[in-house]
C-alpha cells in the first residue's frame, strides 16, 4: 500500500515542480514585457475635418486604444470650429470623460488655410450633430499634451492628424517630453508628390516649420502619408456595408462617408475617398497593416515650388563635396541617420475591413 503511494507520489511531485517553474517563468516574463492585449494610450491631435471624424471614431471604437486626450489644431477648419466639432463628436460617442482642449490658433509662420471645400462648410460634411453635452477642457492643448506625457512616461503614442503646430509648440515649450513619448504616428507628408500641389501634402504644407521641428525631434516617428491614404480608399462597396448597420456613430460615419464618396465622384472617378487620417489610427491599432522604410526626412521650408514637401532620403547617403580652388570635388559619401519610418505600402482591404467592423453597429 505504502509502496503504491510512493509510486504515485513521484510523478505528482515532478508535475508540481514543473508547474511551479512555469509559473515563476511566466511571472518573470510578464514583469518585463507588456501585457498581451494591453491598450495603447494615445493623444489624438486633430483638425476635424471629415477624415479626422472617421479617424476619431475608429480610435474610440477600438479596444486596442485608450484615447487619453484630444487636442485641436487649426487646419481643415478654424481652431474654434475644430474644437466645437471635436466636442460634438465625443458627445455623440458618450465620452465626456476624455479631455478635449483647444491649442494653437494659427500656424507658426504663415496664415491659416482652411479646407471647407473638401470637408463641408462646418468641416463635418455639413452634418449638424447635436450640441455637445461635453465641455472643453480649460487647459491649453499643448500644456495638456505636456502634462499627459509626464504623467505617463514612455506610454503615450501621439497621433497627430492635422498640421503639426501643437506638437511643435509642445516640444519647444518643454523639450524634455521628447524622450518620454513612446512613439509618434503622423498623418502627413508624401515621398511621391503632393495633394495640394505637385510637391506638398496638406498637413505639412499648412505648417512646414512646425513639421520640420517634429521630424527632427529625435523620437520614434512613423509617417503615414499619401502613399497610404491614397491606397486605402473607402469605396462605394465599403459605404454600402456601413449603411447596412446602425447606431449613432455608425450612422454619422456612414453620412460622412457618403459625402466623401460623393466628392470623389464629383472631382475624380468615383472609386472612393482616401482614408488619410483613419490610416494613422489603423497603424496605432495594428502596425502590421503597413510596410515601412526607414529614411531621413526633412521638410522643405524655402523652395519656391516645394515648400512643405517631405524630402525622404531613400538612398541613405549624401555626397560629400569639398572645395578645391574654384570648384567642389566629390570626395566620398556620408551616411545619413534615418529619423522616420515612412509607410510605403498598406494592406488596404484588411484596413478597410477593420474600419468597417469597428464602426458597424456602434
Ligand atoms: C490631410 O489633410 C486634411 O485635409 C485631412 O484631414 C488630412 O489630415 C490629408 O492631406
Ligand atoms: Ca486631418
Calculate the alpha carbon distances from 283 to 41, 157, 276, 342 in Å.
14, 11, 11, 12
Say which range, 31-45, 79-93, 292-306, 329-343, has the weakest mean pLDDT. Answer: 31-45
Bridge pairing between strands 221-224 and 183-187:
parallel
Give the integer Cα–Cα distance in Å for 190 and 227. 6
| Ligand 1 centroid from CA 164, angstroms | 12
Residue 156: which of 246, 67, 55 has the closest Cα?
67
Q: What is the pLDDT of residues 261-308, one digit of tens each?
A: 999 999 999 999 999 999 999 999 999 999 999 999 999 999 999 999
**Percent above pLDDT 70 for the chain:** 90
Q: Taking the domains of the chain in order of start, what are their residue ranges?
A: 37-359
Ligand nearest to the CA of 206: 1
| Ligand 2 centroid from CA 76, angstroms | 7
Calculate the alpha carbon distances from 31 to 19, 25, 27, 155 in Å.
18, 10, 6, 16
Please say if the pLDDT value at position 220 is more than 60: yes
Ligand nearest to the CA of 263: 1
Helix (H) or strand (E) holding 175: none
Please say if the pLDDT value at position 5 is more than 90: no
Please say if the pLDDT value at position 212 is more than 60: yes
What is the chain's mean pLDDT, rounded?
92
Please say if the pLDDT value at position 76 is more than 60: yes
Torsion over CA: 121, 125, 129, 131 (sign): negative
**Residue with CA closest to ligand 1 atom 10:** 202
Given the CA of residue 50, which atom of ligand 1 is nearest to it? 6
pLDDT given for residue 38 in this prediction? 82
Please say if the pLDDT value at position 360 is more than 90: yes
pLDDT given for residue 36 in this prediction? 53
| Ligand 1 centroid from CA 225, angstroms | 10
Instruction: Tell me if residue 247 falls in helix, strand or coil.
Output: coil
Mutate-to-test residue for ligand 1 from 53, 161, 165, highest number of ligand atoms within 8 A of CB: 161
Contact 203, 166 (CB under 8 A): no
Ligand nearest to the CA of 203: 1
**Percent above pLDDT 90 for the chain:** 89
Q: What is the mean pLDDT of residues 77-98?
A: 98
Please say if the pLDDT value at position 190 is more than 50: yes
Binding pocket residue ranges, ligand 1, CB within 6 Å: 49, 51-52, 76, 115, 118, 161-162, 187, 195, 201-203, 276-277
| Ligand 2 centroid from CA 57, angstroms | 13
Measured in residues, the chain has a length of 362
Given the CA of residue 196, which atom of ligand 1 is nearest to it? 10
Q: What is the pLDDT of residues 229-265, one digit of tens each?
A: 999 999 999 999 999 999 999 999 999 999 999 999 9
Angle, to 10 degrees, between the axis of helix 276-285 and the axis of helix 50-60?
20
> What is the assigned CATH class of domain 37-359?
alpha beta
Give the integer Cα–Cα distance in Å for 352 and 163. 24
Given the CA of residue 115, which atom of ligand 1 is nearest to it? 4
Amino acid at each position: 500500500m505504502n509502496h503504491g503511494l510512493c509510486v504515485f507520489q513521484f510523478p505528482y511531485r515532478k508535475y508540481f515542480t514543473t508547474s511551479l517553474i512555469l509559473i515563476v517563468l511566466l511571472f518573470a516574463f510578464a514583469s518585463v514585457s507588456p501585457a498581451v492585449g494591453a491598450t495603447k494610450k494615445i493623444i489624438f491631435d486633430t483638425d476635424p475635418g471629415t477624415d479626422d471624424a472617421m479617424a476619431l471614431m475608429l480610435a474610440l471604437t477600438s479596444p486596442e486604444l485608450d484615447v487619453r486626450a484630444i487636442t485641436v489644431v487649426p487646419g481643415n477648419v478654424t481652431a474654434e470650429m475644430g474644437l466645437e466639432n471635436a466636442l460634438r463628436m465625443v458627445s455623440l460617442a458618450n465620452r465626456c470623460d476624455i479631455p478635449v482642449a483647444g491649442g494653437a490658433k494659427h500656424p507658426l509662420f504663415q496664415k491659416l488655410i482652411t479646407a471647407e471645400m473638401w470637408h463641408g462648410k462646418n468641416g463635418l460634411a455639413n452634418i449638424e450633430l447635436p450640441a455637445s453635452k461635453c465641455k472643453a477642457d480649460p487647459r491649453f492643448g499643448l500644456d495638456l499634451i505636456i502634462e499627459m506625457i509626464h504623467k505617463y512616461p514612455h506610454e503615450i503614442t501621439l497621433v497627430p492628424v492635422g498640421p503639426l503646430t501643437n506638437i511643435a509648440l509642445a516640444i519647444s515649450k518643454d523639450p524634455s517630453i521628447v524622450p518620454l513619448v513612446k512613439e509618434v504616428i503622423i498623418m502627413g507628408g508624401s515621398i511621391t508628390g503632393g495633394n495640394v500641389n505637385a510637391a506638398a501634402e496638406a498637413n505639412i504644407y499648412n505648417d512646414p516649420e512646425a513639421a520640420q521641428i517634429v521630424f527632427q525631434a529625435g523620437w520614434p516617428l512613423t509617417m503615414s502619408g499619401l502613399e497610404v491614404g491614397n491606397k486605402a480608399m473607402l469605396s462605394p462597396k465599403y459605404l454600402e456595408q456601413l449603411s447596412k448597420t446602425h447606431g449613432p456613430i455608425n450612422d454619422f460615419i456612414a453620412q460622412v462617408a457618403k459625402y466623401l464618396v460623393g466628392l470623389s465622384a464629383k472631382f475624380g472617378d468615383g472609386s472612393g475617398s482616401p482614408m488619410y487620417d483613419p490610416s494613422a489610427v489603423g497603424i496605432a491599432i495594428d502596425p502590421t497593416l503597413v510596410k515601412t522604410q526607414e529614411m531621413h526626412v526633412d521638410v522643405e521650408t524655402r523652395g519656391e515650388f516645394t515648400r512643405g514637401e517631405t524630402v525622404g532620403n531613400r538612398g541613405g547617403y549624401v555626397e560629400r563635396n569639398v572645395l578645391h580652388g574654384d570648384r567642389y570635388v566629390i570626395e566620398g559619401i556620408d551616411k545619413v541617420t534615418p529619423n522616420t519610418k515612412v509607410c510605403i505600402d498598406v494592406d488596404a482591404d484588411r484596413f478597410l475591413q477593420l474600419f468597417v467592423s469597428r464602426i458597424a453597429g456602434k
